[in-house]
Every structure is written in structure tokens, then in C-alpha cells.
């Protein structure tokens, strides 16, 4: 029963991630961002890497007031320093909202 429940949970999270829109930032040194006083970090140029995403400037953000947001922001900064690539997921690339997942 435990294995079945674990499998269902994994399928749920996989389906959720696949339902979100993804863009790959191939060179994180090119990422443009801006912070605001509420703790949000706005990712300003995802459309530079996928033209179907909303353009500049205050559409997609990471909320650094949460543990999840702090972890995402830390990973983003680390990848900027190394010049690597990173996947960004948002719920809908045509609607402003939070970055839901990141990864490489």
C-alpha cells in the first residue's frame, strides 16, 4: 500500500510539473532580474529565451519570503555565478505569476 501511495504522489507531482510551461535559460549570466521591497525577485527577460513567454518586465517572480523562494533564489544565484543553464517553470506563460519550479 505504501509503494502504491508513493507512486501516486510521484505521478501527481510529475503531471503538475509537465502541465506548467517551461523555458530553458541557456546562459544564466544573461538573466535579468529586479527585487522589490516585498521580497519578490522579478525575472525580467524569460521571453529572451522563449518568445512565447510574456515580455519584460514584472510578469514572473520568485517570492523570497518563503523557504521555497529562498531555495529557488539561492539556486538561481549559484547558477548565475557558474554560467550554467537552468529550467524555469511557470503555471501559464501568457499570464503573470510565480516561478513554480526550477531545475537543470
User: Taking the domains of the chain in order of start, what are their residue ranges?
Assistant: 21-103
Check whether 92 has a pLDDT greater than 60.
Answer: yes
* Rounded CA separation 17/77 (Å): 22
Return the closest-CA partner of residue 43 out of 53, 33, 35.
Answer: 33
The x, y and z cell numbers of residue 32, run together, are 535579468
The confidence score (pLDDT) of residue 26 equals 95
The confidence score (pLDDT) of residue 40 equals 97
Give the global pTM: 0.78
Return the closest-CA partner of residue 42 out of 4, 87, 98, 92.
Answer: 98
Q: Does domain 21-103 have CATH number 2.40.50?
A: yes
Taking only the tens place, the pLDDT of each residue in 33-57 is: 999 999 999 999 999 999 999 988 8
Amino acid at each position: 500500500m505504501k509503494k502504491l501511495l508513493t507512486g501516486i504522489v510521484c505521478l501527481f507531482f510529475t503531471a503538475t510539473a509537465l502541465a506548467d510551461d517551461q523555458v530553458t535559460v541557456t546562459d544564466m549570466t544573461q538573466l535579468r532580474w529586479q527585487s522589490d521591497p516585498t521580497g519578490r525577485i522579478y525575472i525580467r527577460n524569460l521571453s529572451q529565451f522563449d518568445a512565447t513567454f510574456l515580455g519584460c518586465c514584472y510578469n514572473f517572480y520568485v517570492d523570497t519570503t518563503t523557504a521555497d523562494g529562498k531555495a529557488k533564489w539561492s539556486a538561481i544565484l549559484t547558477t548565475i555565478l557558474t554560467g550554467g543553464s537552468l529550467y524555469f517553470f511557470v503555471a501559464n506563460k501568457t499570464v503573470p505569476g510565480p516561478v513554480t519550479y526550477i531545475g537543470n
